Amino acid sequence: MRNDQSPSRWTRRSWLSASLLSLAGSTIQAEERPAVTYPRATSSDTAVEPNWKERVEISVGPRDADLVGSTERVLQAAVDYVSRLGGGTVRILPGVYRLRNAVYLASNVRLLGSGADSLLIKEPSVTTKLAIDSDWYDQEITLADATGFKVGDGVCLRTKNPHHGGQTTLKRTLVARDGKRFKLDRPLKDNLWLMGESTASTLFPLLSGEYITDVVIENLALDGNRGQNTLLDGNYAGCIFMQDCSRLTFRQVEARNYHGDGISWQICHDVTVENCYVHDNTNLGLHPGSGSQRPIIRNNRLVANDIGVFFCWGVKYGLCAQNKILDTRSYGVSIGHRDNENLVVDNDITRSGKVGVLFRPERGKAFAPHRNRIERNRIVDSGPAAGVAIDVQGETEAITITQNEIRETRGPEQRIGVRVGPQTADVKLVDNRIEGFATDVKR
């Protein structure tokens, strides 16, 4: 006879019970794992590092620096040097640095400037049509007029897509030349045909990065020189533009005058922007872009941008706190497509051109922004004669608007304190102080 406890007699239930006990034991062991009290640098261990008193540092400046120069090339050389050694600080000494291409950052690199005395400014842009078709597999373009284009320049290539009529935008660097014919650093991967009115422009972000982590930019001034540059929107550029990155910190940065956005990050997680001055940009001041999780936007001055803070698509678990958002041409804060679980708290939102805080109407309930809180803000003098301080539109649900001071000092006209659209649901207004409007709350 077989023993009843032999494996062949185990039931499915007893097997599951044993498996769960095994897992429970593993959990207990993990919770009781000893703390790391004496960390050591160990091969491939990036989670725990000793707190080194000194790390790699290199200085850049017009004179008296480790690397001497005042263009993007010397800045890029410093970033590459520090990156090759595993990370460290690039110290940007006082001076004016004129850029013909972006400085592309790397993981574990800190850019540390000398405040407003360390100024990076974008050179004027030039634009020309392409003279010859380029196919998606090509790695070169031919320009109709190559005046103003140089090897090493960052370029933006744009064309009308022949299939759907939308615009295709590519960013590349010119790496070789024969007259009007230029080689690119990477293949096109899209067709640039003359029938699409294809163009090349010397447009790029000042600081940029893709697929990198643990980057700090601080105490630095960036000027997009928008009066001498054509428009490039924040899905591709800005004074700072980051794509598919994590754990970024921008601190005490002045980002100004870009013909596009001030600071834009797309699909970037755990981004902190604090104590920055972002002003006079054509489009968005701060642009937490599509899919970005857990941004922290704190203690910034956002002045004279079209929109102060623009929550793009699917931005979740974000904090926008203690900012001064002033004199925007359109909206102070804009929240929309699947931007859920965000907190906008203790901000001064003053003299917005159209609306102080806007919940954008989207293409149905599944796309609307839900479960956001607007709390303890001071929202003053929003929009024109028919302006609105807080406007909740679309099929937005579960919004809490509480303890805000919502004021109008210019006279009531047709102005509205809080407007709640007819398709919204569960919009709670609690303990707000609303004064000076023709209509305090319109549902």
The 10s digit of each residue's pLDDT in 110-147 is: 999 999 999 999 999 999 999 999 999 999 999 999 99
Quote the tokens at residue 236: 């591709």
Place of tokens 């163009």: 199
How confident is the model at residue 164, as a pLDDT?
80
Q: Is the pLDDT of residue 19 over 70?
A: no
What is the pLDDT confidence band of residue 30, given thresholds at 50, 70 and 90? low
Q: Is the pLDDT of residue 20 over 60?
A: no
336-357 average pLDDT score: 98
| Assigned token pair, 218 | 């601080």
Residue 6 pLDDT greater than 80, yes or no: no
Q: Are strands 67-68 and 57-61 parallel, antiparallel or unpaired?
A: parallel
Write out the two tokens for 370. Answer: 């839900």
Residue 249 near residue 272, CB atoms below 8 Å: yes
122 CB-near residues (< 8 Å, 6+ apart): 99, 204, 206, 223, 224, 225, 229, 258
pLDDT range class, residue 47, cuts 50, 70, 90: confident
- Asked if residue 2 has pLDDT above 50, the reply is no
Which region among 47-61, 93-107, 214-228 has the lowest average model confidence (pLDDT)?
47-61
Query: What SS3 string covers 189-255?
Result: CCCECHHHCCEEECCCCCEEEECCEEEEEEEEEEECCHHHCCCCCCCCCCCEEEECCEEEEEEEEEE
DSSP string spanning 31-86? HTPPP-SS----TT--S-----S---EEEEESSSSSEE-SBHHHHHHHHHHHHHTT
- Residue 423's Cβ-count burial label (10 Å; 0-12, 13-18, 19+) is middle
- The model's confidence at residue 326, banded by pLDDT at 50, 70 and 90, is very high
Higher-pLDDT residue of 35, 124: 124
pLDDT at 407: 98
In the predicted model, what is the mean pLDDT of residues 176-187? 98
Q: Is residue 9 very low, low, confident or very high in pLDDT (cuts 50, 70, 90)? A: very low
pLDDT value of residue 33: 86
Distance (Å, whole) CA 355 – CA 350: 10
Quote the CA–CA distance of 224 and 220 in Å, as a whole number. Answer: 13
The CATH class for the domain spanning 57-123+204-442 reads: mainly beta
Please report the pLDDT score of residue 1 as a whole number.
Answer: 40
Percent of the chain with pLDDT over 90: 88
Nearest CA-CA partner of 289 in 308, 259, 258, 265: 265
Q: What is the pLDDT of residue 16?
A: 46
Residue 27 has pLDDT above 70, yes or no: no
Q: What H or E segment, with its residue span, contains residue 305?
A: none
User: Tokens for 435?
Assistant: 């004064």
Bridge partners of residue 406, in order along the sequence: 379, 434
Residues 400, 430: contact at Cβ < 8 Å? yes
- Average predicted confidence (pLDDT) for the chain: 93
Q: Which of 40-49, 281-290, 331-340, 416-425 has the lowest mean pLDDT?
A: 40-49
Sign of the torsion angle spanned by Cα atoms 380, 386, 387, 390: positive
Q: Is 30 helix (H, G, I), strand (E, B) or coil?
A: helix
Q: Minimal CA–CA distance to 306: which of 251, 240, 355, 248?
A: 355
**49 has a pLDDT exceeding 50:** yes
> pLDDT by residue (tens digit) across 199-213?
999 999 999 999 999
> Tokens 């990156």 appear where?
83
Segment 182-194, tens digit of pLDDT: 999 999 999 999 9
- C-alpha to C-alpha distance for 379 and 435, rounded to whole angstroms: 11
| pLDDT above 70 coverage of the chain, percent | 93
C-alpha dist (Å) from residue 244 to 206, 248, 263, 291, 345: 17, 11, 15, 10, 27
Task: For residues 106-112, give the mean pLDDT.
Answer: 98
Query: Is domain 127-201 given the CATH code 2.40.30 in the classification?
Result: yes
Average pLDDT, integer, range 383-408: 98
Check whether 8 has a pLDDT greater than 60. no
Q: Reply yes or no on whether the pLDDT at 12 is more than 50.
A: no
pTM: 0.91
Going by pLDDT thresholds of 50, 70 and 90, the confidence category of residue 105 is very high
pLDDT at 195: 94
Structural domain spans, the chain:
57-123+204-442, 127-201
* Whole-number pLDDT of residue 14: 52
Amino acid at 198: S
